[in-house]
Structure 1
Amino acid sequence: MLAAWGYFVLGLALLALGGDSIVKGAAGLAQRIGASPFVAGLLLIAFGTSLPELAVNARAIWIGAQDLALGNAVGSNIVNLGLTLGAAALAAPLLVRVRLLSPLLVLLALATLALIAFGLDGVVGRGEGVALLLLFVAMLGFLLARAPREAQDVREGVIAYAQTHATLWMNLLRFAVAAALLYYGAKYVVQGAPVIGAQWGLSPLLTGLLPVAIGTALPEVAAAIAAARRGQGDMVVGHVIGSSLFNLLVVVGGMAAFRPLPLPGSFVRLELPAAIAFVLVLYPMLRGDLRVSRNEGAVLLAAFAGWIALELLMLS
């Protein structure tokens, strides 16, 4: 058991280091091949923080632990919306100026509803997985088409986020080191997590949903709190919504497109509706005064704690 915890904690540390490094390297490489700093920054804000979860899920799928990957993908969305966003807003109110985020939040709710509908028969088929992937492509097109309409100060903030002064060889080195860190981090997490889950009486699905999803999110929570204190509310909320869309459309959609994906009835009845509930709570915050206050952050954290308590209660 001690060895499993050692692998799990080491894996989380490597994922945190790899996720940070690969975002910086990708920003530099994207600009080197001709992408504008604004486009590079926008994509990194939306999807950059998903890479540690993607690495864990890819490793889990590779060794046949599909339940662990599914639990992590869905659990990460609830953790993003409840824990990460709630903790960041509690640290400092989040001012949200990017107009794209509200329609993307609506898309997240609709995509979650689509997944519930797909899973009513107990399985997400290959055609339905392809539909989720195509929705992701359409979302990218919408994102890139609408992004130039953002206010100048918003554009400047995104450009500053993606700015890197490193040379080509330095960005390539960053990317290579990050890839190695993500590979071994994912390997150790997937090696240790099932042992820990079994010790706690958790199925592989719930192991991915709770300890893995929460564990892989902790570095992102710390980064979100730091960004909130710097006044980067757009970055925090963009990370949360973009990462959640990536998990749902690319990770779950990709798994189903590769092989029909069994979707447990509990996910249709509880976990996916819980994710929609968080979206419904968050949407009026973004559409109202364009900020997530400390009190609203406390509401999100309380809702997240309530979800954890409900999950544990259902185990007993």
Structure 2
Amino acid sequence: MIVIATAWFLLGLLLLALGGDSIVKGVAGLAQRFGARPFTAGLLLMTVATSLPELAVNARALVLGQPELALGNAVGSTLANLGLTLGVAALAAPLLLRARLLGTLWWALLLAAVAVILFGRDGRLQAWEGGLLLAGFLACLAVVLARRNREPEAVQQTIAASALTRTSVPLNVLRVAIAGVALYGGARLVVGAAGDFATALGWTPLLVGLLPVAIGTALPEVAAAVFAARRGQGDMVLGHVLGSSVVNLALLLGVLGVLQPLALPASFVRLELPAVIAFVLVLYPMLRGDLRISRSEGAVLLGAFVAWVGLEIALVTPA
């Protein structure tokens, strides 16, 4: 059963990657067709659109009544972004950081992680707490857009170039439609395989979301980050990492909390979210110091991520 589940899981990841690429191009093309500057479209893609594969998986998990899988994927994807994606990209090429918006996203991620820890001390995320997270996400997005013209010209050109695509309305509507089908199909396969993994491995849905689902959905982002790093686009790499992480912790958990009171596992408060905060704090001197993430720093991030994965597995492995 595990072999068949793995095959469906990999096919689902492929569909999610294709759907994510298609919807990014479609949304960018439509936004520019209706008047958005390429730079503005690029900012929206960086902060929101690249998280759509993870959001599709989480939406499917919720529809099937598996909120723990969605929670695990949200926090696991954040840790995979900060440790795996950023670490591998920095090993491929040192990341030069010039964009001012990175500071805004850094603070938003730190505050979101701290807020979820505080909200989760009673074991639940209430509707008003989810509303605060959602409002915080919208405020972060508003600040990033309001300050977009303060970015150095070189940064604006790099971000704008990432959004350039054909602006034909029929073509981009078709891209969005194809993306919808691919994301739906990919999410169904990934969530279905996740259930098989849980049964075969004896893991909880939460752990399956934290590890195989979160790492699997991060792999296309790892490949894109390596490509961007080798082209000298460090701002794009860290922008995608921080933006996607803010979406996971503020937008996704906020929406989940608003829709229904949500039980938060004790490990979130004691292990996973403190791990997120540790990764975020490690980034601070890189953003305020030499404005680069070196290969050695990337190795530290990747090593810390591998250690976290090992700890999670050790905690559920019988002695």
Quote the residue 2:78 is aligned against: 77
Quote the residue 2:146 is aligned against: 145
Quote the residue 2:163 is aligned against: 162
Quote the residue 1:118 is aligned against: 119
Superposed CA deviations along residues 25-63 of structure 1, whole A, max 9, x for unmatched, are 110011112222111111111222201000000000011
1-structure distance, mates of 2:96, 2:54: 27
Whether 2:272 is the aligned partner of 1:271: answer yes
**SS of aligned partner of 1:311:** helix
**Aligned amino acid, residue 181 of structure 1:** A
User: Which has the higher mean CA deviation after the structures are superposed, 119-128 or 158-167?
Assistant: 158-167
**SS of aligned partner of 1:120:** helix
**SS of aligned partner of 2:280:** helix
**Aligned amino acid, residue 24 of structure 1:** K
1-structure distance, mates of 2:232, 2:22: 22
2-structure distance, mates of 1:205, 1:235: 30
Quote the residue 1:298 is aligned against: 299
Superposed CA deviations along residues 175-216 of structure 1, whole A, max 9, x for unmatched, are 110111001000110011111122112100101011000000
**Aligned amino acid, residue 275 of structure 1:** V
Superposed CA deviations along residues 212-231 of structure 1, whole A, max 9, x for unmatched, are 00000011101111111111
Cα distance, 1:166 vs. partner?
A: 4.3
How do 1:242-253 and structure 2 match up within 5 A?
Answer: 242-253=243-254
Quote the residue 2:235 is aligned against: 234
2-structure distance, mates of 1:57, 1:122: 20
- Is the contact between residue 93 and residue 291 of structure 1 (CA under 8 Å) also seen in structure 2? yes
Whether 2:97 is the aligned partner of 1:91: answer no
Quote the residue 2:103 is aligned against: 102
Quote the residue 1:190 is aligned against: 191
Quote the residue 1:35 is aligned against: 36
Q: Percent identity over the alignment?
A: 61
**Aligned amino acid, residue 296 of structure 1:** E
- Is the contact between residue 54 and residue 74 of structure 2 (CA under 8 Å) also seen in structure 1? yes
User: Which has the higher mean CA deviation after the structures are superposed, 163-172 or 218-227?
Assistant: 163-172
Quote the residue 2:51 is aligned against: 50
- Counting matched residue pairs gives 316
User: Which has the higher mean CA deviation after the structures are superposed, 263-272 or 33-42?
Assistant: 33-42
- Is the contact between residue 48 and residue 239 of structure 1 (CA under 8 Å) also seen in structure 2? no
Cα distance, 1:3 vs. partner?
A: 2.6
2-structure distance, mates of 1:266, 1:121: 13
User: Which has the higher mean CA deviation after the structures are superposed, 2-11 or 131-140?
Assistant: 2-11
**SS of aligned partner of 2:98:** coil
Cα distance, 1:96 vs. partner?
A: 1.1
RMSD of aligned C-alpha atoms? Answer: 0.9
**SS of aligned partner of 1:64:** coil
User: Which has the higher mean CA deviation after the structures are superposed, 29-38 or 258-267?
Assistant: 29-38
**Aligned amino acid, residue 204 of structure 2:** S
Quote the residue 1:67 is aligned against: 68
**SS of aligned partner of 1:268:** helix
Whether 2:152 is the aligned partner of 1:178: answer no
Superposed CA deviations along residues 52-108 of structure 1, whole A, max 9, x for unmatched, are 000000000011011000000011000000000000000000111101102321221
**Aligned amino acid, residue 164 of structure 2:** Q
1-structure distance, mates of 2:229, 2:154: 17
2-structure distance, mates of 1:86, 1:38: 26
Quote the residue 2:283 is aligned against: 282
**Aligned amino acid, residue 45 of structure 2:** L
Q: List, as ranges, runs of 4+ consecutive aligned residues in structure 1 with deviation greater than 3 Å.
A: none
2-structure distance, mates of 1:68, 1:33: 37
Contiguous gaps of at least 5 residues in structure 1 = none
Quote the residue 1:209 is aligned against: 210
Whether 2:275 is the aligned partner of 1:256: answer no
Length-normalised TM-score, structure 1: 0.98
